[in-house]
Amino acid sequence: MFFNATARTLAGYVGMIFRKPPYLQLPENRSALGKAMAEFNNDADMLGTSLYGYAKQVVGEVVSVGRCGTLVDWEGGASRTGQGENRAYAALYRAEQILNWRVERVNGRSIATLVVLHEPTGGERTGTDLFDSTAGEQIRVLRLVHGSSLMADGPMEGRTAEGPRCVVDIWRPKLVDGKSLMVDSRKGKTEWQLVETRVPLRLGRPLPLIPFVFHGPENSRPAVARLILDDIIPVNLGHYRMDADYKHGLHYTALPTAYVSGFENAPALKIGSSVAWTTETTGATAGFLEYTGQGLTSFERALDHAERLMAVMGSRLLEGQKKIAETAEAMQIRQSGEDSILSSVATSISESLTHVLRWAYWWNGTEQYPEDITDQQALLDLNTDFRTHGMSSNEVTSLVSAWQAGAISQDTMFELFRRSEILPDGRGNEEEAALVKRGFPERQAKEAELEKR
């Protein structure tokens, strides 16, 4: 039996990060840019996934396998539904689909100059059979080419493009009689051919960067980072092996074996309630061999130790509740290690998802580079508060006193209350202040009436 502590820890991490909805900063819907970004928020990948759901997929991939990536592209022609939508969308690529990449220094910055992606193709229905579809594969190569060259497609056909530009190559397997042509059948190597080369344009000009964002547990750089579940996985596998040995021992201790001694020339003996074993030999015996299984206790202790170890290395979701009282300070110290890991992951993915949001903003805007877009224009910030308990009464009193003394602003006080789940997330500071102001005269009247009594 496989005790899947790794998957439970993964689900716990994702659940803690999304215990509160992420903070999202987008333009207002009154402008055309705001409407485009609102559409991207409602359907980020043109598959019906909201930006919230897309962020959850990214967090799950990063926590489980350590990385993934997002290609932010523009759908200008026939889309997957057969209609042109003229909008930006995000395509998620898992770690196994990111085949190769290269980083170089360009204009004083380290940027990706090559990204190679593996993609499934097909899936469309062929003929009149509802269940007959074609499926294949292709490799998308995104290159950042430097210098000037003659454009061969789009509005800039026949014109010269200066500076770095993104070029996309599509490679597909060579087919012979409907089957992939193999270069080396013993090693399973397929021969690929270049089927398309194009230069994506935005506002009639080539892209100055590759519109691909890497997601990782520590940063948004292409370098492969250490998997945060790397310590739990080998312990989980060792737990599975020990469980197999433990169940193997239980099998032998739970099934007694019949034996006879002194049965000379006895025929085949059968076991059953209607069968009796008899012999004329003096001193013959019969019985069952049954093991006590004292050695299995070492396996039990080892299994318990492995489960506790996985709980400590994870988010303590698998650890049994303590029977003794524990102060809030001790609990905070005990959980500080796990919170730091979660905070690092949430902060890193917030940064990379903000890059995705800025690329979508850039596709619909007029800025020269996605880096020109500020946090006030586009921002996504995941939750980093993983406490399940709110403020104590003394903390609330101290916070209100600090506001009354002028040490902090009212907005800061409201924000701290909101993070401690005293105020609801959907209520703004102005609305909360208006509610407080509305109830203040009523409270004064009640206090005056109590004083009269």
Mean pLDDT taken over the chain? 81
Residue where a domain terminates, one of 194, 213, 232:
213
Is residue 151 a part of any domain in this protein? yes
Is residue 418 a part of any domain in this protein? yes
Q: Mean pLDDT over residues 16-42, rounded? A: 90
Residue 289 has pLDDT above 90, yes or no: no
Interior angle at CA 315, CA 15 and CA 421, nearest 5 = 50
Please tell me the predicted confidence (pLDDT) of residue 152: 46
- Pair 66, 216: CB distance under 8 Å: yes
Please tell me the predicted confidence (pLDDT) of residue 255: 76
Q: Report d(CA 115, CA 207) in Å as an integer.
A: 15
Please tell me the predicted confidence (pLDDT) of residue 440: 64
- Pair 26, 33: CB distance under 8 Å: no
Is residue 126 a part of any domain in this protein? yes
Of 349, 391, 384, give the one whose Cα is nearest residue 21. 384
**DSSP track, 197-261:** EE--EETTEE-SS--EEEE-SS-SSSSPPPPTTTTHHHHHHHHHHHHHHHHHHHHHHHS-EEEEE
SS3 of the chain: helix, strand, coil, percent, to 5: 40, 25, 40
pLDDT band per the 50, 70, 90 thresholds, residue 144: very high
Please tell me the predicted confidence (pLDDT) of residue 136: 83
Residue 422 has pLDDT above 60, yes or no: yes
What residues pair up with 317 in beta bridges, in sequence order? none
Instruction: Report which of residues 310 and 139 the model is more confident about.
Output: 139
Express each pLDDT in 228-270 by its tens digit: 888 888 888 988 888 888 888 888 777 778 888 888 777 788 8
Amino acid at 382: L
Residue where a domain terminates, one of 190, 213, 236:
213
Q: Mean pLDDT over residues 165-169, rounded? A: 94
Say how many domains are in the chain: 2
Residue 316 has pLDDT above 80, yes or no: no
Instruction: Label residue 365 exposed, middle or buried (CB < 10 Å: 0-12, 13-18, 19+).
Output: buried
Amino acid at 383: N
pLDDT band per the 50, 70, 90 thresholds, residue 125: low
pLDDT band per the 50, 70, 90 thresholds, residue 446: low
Can you give the residue range of the structural domain that contains 413?
393-453
Is residue 410 a part of any domain in this protein? yes
- Which residue matches tokens 């055309």? 32
Q: Mean pLDDT over residues 406-423, rounded? A: 82
Is residue 108 a part of any domain in this protein? yes
- Pair 143, 113: CB distance under 8 Å: yes
- Which residue matches tokens 């009640």? 446
Please tell me the predicted confidence (pLDDT) of residue 56: 95
Q: Report d(CA 217, CA 344) in Å as an integer.
A: 7
Please tell me the predicted confidence (pLDDT) of residue 305: 80
Is residue 371 a part of any domain in this protein? no
Express each pLDDT in 46-67 by its tens digit: 999 999 999 999 999 999 999 9
Residue 146 has pLDDT above 90, yes or no: no
Q: Mean pLDDT over residues 26-36, rounded? A: 89
Of 349, 317, 401, 370, give the one whose Cα is nearest residue 214. 349
Q: Quick one: what percent of the chain has pLDDT higher than 90?
A: 31
pLDDT band per the 50, 70, 90 thresholds, residue 208: very high
Is residue 368 a part of any domain in this protein? no
Amino acid at 437: K
What phi, psi does 97 have (nearest 5°)? -90, -15
Q: Mean pLDDT over residues 26-41, rounded? A: 91
Radius of gyration (C-alpha) of the chain in whole angstroms: 33
Please tell me the predicted confidence (pLDDT) of residue 9: 85
Residue 176 has pLDDT above 60, yes or no: yes
Residue where a domain terminates, one of 197, 213, 229:
213
Instruction: Report which of residues 95 and 399 the model is more confident about.
Output: 95
Please tell me the predicted confidence (pLDDT) of residue 71: 96
Q: Report d(CA 203, CA 141) in Å as an integer.
A: 22
Is residue 190 a part of any domain in this protein? yes
